[in-house]
Amino acid sequence: MPRFTLGELAALTGGRIAGDANRVVERALPPAESGPDDITFALDLRAHREFLRSKAGAVVLPEAFDRDGRDAIVTSDPRIALAAILGAFHPEDRPPPGVDASAVVHPSAKLAARVHVGPNAVVERDVTLGEDVIVGAGSFVGAGSSVGDRTRLHPHVVLYSLSTIGRGCILHAGAVIGADGFGYTRSGGRHVKIPQVGGVVIGDDVEIGANACVDRGTMTPTRIGSNTKVDNLVQIGHNSEIGQRVIICGQCAIAGSTTIADDVVLAGQVGVAGHLSIGRGAVAAAGTGITSDVEPGARVAGHPPMPLEDWRRAHAALRHLPRLRTLVRSLQHRLDTLEGGDSPPVAPPAPSAEE
């Protein structure tokens, strides 16, 4: 494990030193696990409280936080510093160029000079792999696919034929790109498959999570824009168009032929129906079931979705609904009495007769 002086780390982060620039740190750890030889991170108020209780020798924090007399890197963006410092302590372990003897690479595939193809990987005909591409152990790159420079396929990624992946992407284990979209038509009392021939096009600097699925389009490609991040076990249906810098958290499902504009955020387990348009910068809370278009910048929750604040209030009220019904019935009886004396001539309507 490498060791760094605080000064060296500060240089990576753009922050300034408060205290001893020559202090040596050996590990980067969360506040609760850090000791005198470690640097830790006060990213928010909670982490700052934990830092104050910790024995951390050094800390990264924003200007507004107290460094408690300890050596510190003070920065306007401690999360960027976290990324830089973790990268320094744990440089990515990229395997050296070369094709493992157990890999099966078709002679027509075009591999750049520094490509790594891992054990038992399979690269089919007419594939193009850019410079510094890594094809992890057991991964499969189908015929006619292309993978841009520096992109890494972790072990057990599957690219069906005619998948186009940009530069600097990361695809995690078990991700399946380009499987057939879910398209059938009913005829003669049975489901007939509609061929799915449109492929997938993924931009640059995209990350696709473990066991996530991006289906190929029916006639034209399913598309994912650059710098978009897709978490584990997400389903992206055929003919979808996902913009740039979109965040799609774990287990979201996007049905098909839906357009998601740039900078949208879908929290975990969101479902999006087909043939919709989600406007730029919209945010859907976890578990939202999106059944109609969403305006740019909207914040929605619920199923069907409503503005996030309305959802909060409506669901807080929901718990009291049974009591509200009881109250309304008592008001109804009191009103009957006021209107008609002690013995109303007709029975009041029974709103809950069928319960």
Residues designated as active site: 238
Dihedral angle, C-alpha 329, 331, 333, 336, nearest 10 °: -130
Among 16, 49, 110, 193, indicate the residue that binds a second copy (CB under 8 A). Answer: 193
Structure tokens at 88: 């320094």
Q: Which is nearer to a second copy, 21 or 312 (CB)?
A: 312
Confirm or reject binding of residue 118 to a second copy (CB under 8 A). yes
Nearest distance from C-beta of residue 23 to a second copy, angstroms:
19
Binding mask 237-276 for a second copy (x = CB under 8 A): x-------x-x-xxx-x-x------------xx-x-x---
Q: How far apart are CA 268 and CA 271, in angstroms?
A: 9
Between vectors from CA 304 to CA 302 and to CA 305, what angle results, nearest 5°? Answer: 55
Confirm or reject binding of residue 176 to a second copy (CB under 8 A). yes
Nearest distance from C-beta of residue 96 to a second copy, angstroms:
13
Among 316, 342, 343, 346, indicate the residue that binds a second copy (CB under 8 A). Answer: 316
Tell me how far apart the terminal alpha carbons of the chain are, to the nearest angstrom. Answer: 67
Q: Which is nearer to a second copy, 22 or 55 (CB)?
A: 55
Confirm or reject binding of residue 225 to a second copy (CB under 8 A). no
- Binding segment for a second copy (CB under 8 A), chosen from 17-25, 61-69, 109-117, 168-176, is 168-176
Confirm or reject binding of residue 296 to a second copy (CB under 8 A). no
Q: Which of positions 17-56 make contact with a second copy (CB under 8 A)?
A: 28-30, 33
